Amino acid sequence: MSKYILIILIFFSTSIAQSLTVDECVRIALENKPSLKRAEQDVTIARLNRASTGALMLPSVNASNSFSETTYGNSSSEASERYSGGLSLSQSLFNFGTKINTLKQSDNTYNTAKQQRRQAKARIILDVHTFYYQYLKNSELFDIAGKDLELSKKQLDLVQNQYNLGAVSKTDFLKASVRYGTAKSSFLSRELSKKNSEKSLRHSMGLLDSDVPIIIEQKMDLILSVPTFDEAYSLMLSNSPDLNILDNQIVGAQIAVKKAWSSSLPSVNMSIGMNASSADQITRTYFDDNYIKSANITLSIPIFSGFRNRNSIQISKLQLNQAETRLSGGTKSAKVSLYALINTLNNYQEIIPIQEEVLFSAEEDLKLAQQRYELGSASILELLDAQLALIQASSSLVRTKYDAAIQVASLDDLLGTLDKKYE
């Protein structure tokens, strides 16, 4: 069990209900999501492979020792024993970069694995932010719907009493009834949305199958600070894990082209060795100078490989072109998304103050309409219209506020800064 789940259990076992912030929800998710654990394992595997590849640059040293016994006929006196042993060292002197390019490939694979780990982490964080704010949005909309239902019920009861006394028309009574029915339907719909968004949030935190209760902090301080497009674009190009992965694919393809070329060129290898063989114990033969020493330098020149080298070069070039196309397409797509996000957030900066003013006016209008209705100077329709206007203004502001928060997280994700907040 993760430490963050344990913390939550402690909260409730001690009856100290503490609300979880979005950052706390993120940290719980990072502890529980298997996708991040797999990405961590991939980084470890790539690191170990890189270490193994680096060993190719070192000499290869081997030792051997063997014993054999040969028996002739049924007589043990005819048995012959033989001892042999040897020590050898081999080293590649020159191979036109084959081993170096292999090492570069492993380095690039390791760097790619680290960027993929960042990518997996950022996806988890973005999911939590998205579902966290969706849950808060649906919770507030549910509360608004509850207040609307309560107010509609009071108004219906009031109008019904007046209708029974003959003080209002049947039309007024029916309007109040319709308004109450609409409010009730909206309340049930908001209730379902809240439940579904809670499930989505629990899933993003890795707690879908857990009975651990969660309490979400019912407040959010939204501060919109929108960068310029040029600032954001420059940051995205240098920091986005998605684009870094595509760039690493180009680097890997470039190395593959060089490696394919080097495989068709000559190579020079050196080996030295010492071997001994005797009917006596092998250790004794060394002291008797009964051994063979050897030193070799080998030049290997590829002449014909069934067109494998040529095909490998062509394939590597095509793969390089594909990687360049993917990076170009990915950069253009990210640029379009960046435009959209910045424009949307700039729009929210203008809309939110207007919606706040509208909400204030709607609250004041409802108060006045209620007073006029009680004095008999306003109709039930005017009162219901004022109530509906308040509900719409409240709901619009709530939607905009939390949609803006989701867009901020999406922008941070696109820029490659979202995961860095949780290092």
| Domains with residue ranges and CATH for the chain | 3-32+97-265+307-422 (1.20.1600.10)
C-alpha 117/C-alpha 46 separation (Å) is 12
3-state secondary structure of 91: strand
C-alpha 107/C-alpha 104 separation (Å) is 5
Q: 412 near 418, Cβ under 8 Å?
A: yes
Contacts of 264 (CB under 8 A, 6+ apart): 302, 305, 309, 310, 313
pLDDT at 16 (0 to 100): 39
Enter the tokens of residue 415: 């820029």
Specify the pTM: 0.80
Digitized pLDDT (tens) for each residue of the chain, 423 residues in all: 444 444 344 334 333 345 889 999 999 999 988 888 899 999 999 998 888 777 666 677 777 776 666 665 555 555 566 667 677 777 666 666 677 888 888 999 999 999 999 999 999 999 999 999 999 999 999 999 999 999 999 889 988 988 888 888 898 899 999 999 999 999 999 999 999 999 999 999 988 887 777 788 777 777 788 999 999 999 999 999 999 999 999 999 998 888 877 777 676 677 776 776 665 544 444 445 556 676 777 666 666 555 667 788 888 899 999 999 999 999 999 999 999 999 999 999 999 999 999 999 999 999 999 899 888 888 888 888 999 999 999 999 999 999 999 999 999 999 999 999 998
3-state secondary structure of 59: coil
Cα Rg of the chain, angstroms: 37
What strands lie across the sheet with 60-70, from one edge to the other? 60-70, 80-94, 267-278, 291-300
C-alpha 288/C-alpha 85 separation (Å) is 14
Enter the tokens of residue 243: 């684009």
Q: 264 near 302, Cβ under 8 Å?
A: yes
Enter the tokens of residue 216: 């979400």
Among residues 119, 92, 112, the alpha carbon closest in space to that of 35 is found at 119
Among residues 358, 359, 386, 360, the alpha carbon closest in space to that of 372 is found at 386
According to DSSP, the residues that pair with 70 across neighbouring strands are 80
C-alpha 256/C-alpha 247 separation (Å) is 14
Question: How would you write 192-217 as a 3-class SS string?
Answer: HHHHHHHHHHHHHCCCCCCCCCCCEC
Enter the tokens of residue 257: 């082209």
C-alpha 280/C-alpha 271 separation (Å) is 27
C-alpha 390/C-alpha 359 separation (Å) is 7
Q: What angle do the packed helices 241-262 and 98-164 form, to 10 degrees?
A: 160
DSSP state of 419: G
Among residues 230, 204, 205, 201, the alpha carbon closest in space to that of 415 is found at 230
C-alpha 195/C-alpha 372 separation (Å) is 39
Q: 97 near 103, Cβ under 8 Å?
A: no
